[in-house]
Amino acid sequence: AVVAGLFQNYGRKGWDFLDVGCGTCEGASIVSNMGGITGIDMSDEALSIAKNKGYVSLCKGSGERLPFAEKIFDSLIMLDVLEHIDDDRATLNECFRVLKPSGTIFITVPAHQWLWSGHDEVLGHKRRYQKSKLLEKTKQAGFEIIFCSYYFSFTFPAVILFRLIEKLVRNKKSSHFFHIPRWFNITLLFFMRCEGHLLKLGLPTPFGSSLILVARRHTD
């Protein structure tokens, strides 16, 4: 819900999208009704799942070396992908290369290195991002920043508490996926929709456990 609102603001129908690290196919669920979407991922399993999710084409590959010609996509999507890649600067450079002039990129990443935990290790993260560092790397690749904000702000206090407890019990490598009551899940979804509306209105939130960034390739 958070990301979808920004797509409505900055996306356009009829665009050709590239979903870098298509993974869970969240990109296809957001933009499949807006235009054609191509997916790329290093995982054979992810590509197999993506076959039935609305992608017009799929290929195996890495964001550090995209197997596409220059300036062919209207928009790129990288949703919780950049933190998995060794060379994030090279990946941003590649994204810039394959975007058309005035093309738009949507990026989400986990925020705050001080929130690093065993959960990040289990998920294969290389890093978490400070807002200033994400902006710096994106600008260095040649992009013009349109919008950047923290999100998951309503759950941020709970995340901090959970991380502190984890550090106290010294549980270094564990994932935090667990069953939550239906009522609590409904409450979280309500707050996420509220947050999505705020971001859609162009109102960034000053804190949160993740970051979302929208940037544009300048016209040549």
Q: Residue 218: its pLDDT value, please?
A: 83
Residue 142 confidence (pLDDT): 96
pLDDT at 1: 56
- Listed as ranges, residues in the chain with pLDDT below 50 are none
Q: pTM for this one?
A: 0.84
* Per-residue model confidence (pLDDT) at position 154: 75
Long-range contacts of 185-189 (CB under 8 A, 24+ apart): 188/154, 188/155, 189/1
91: Cβ–Cβ under 8 A, 6 or more apart, which residues?
20, 62, 63, 64, 78, 82, 85
pLDDT at 82: 97
Overall size of the chain counted in residues: 220
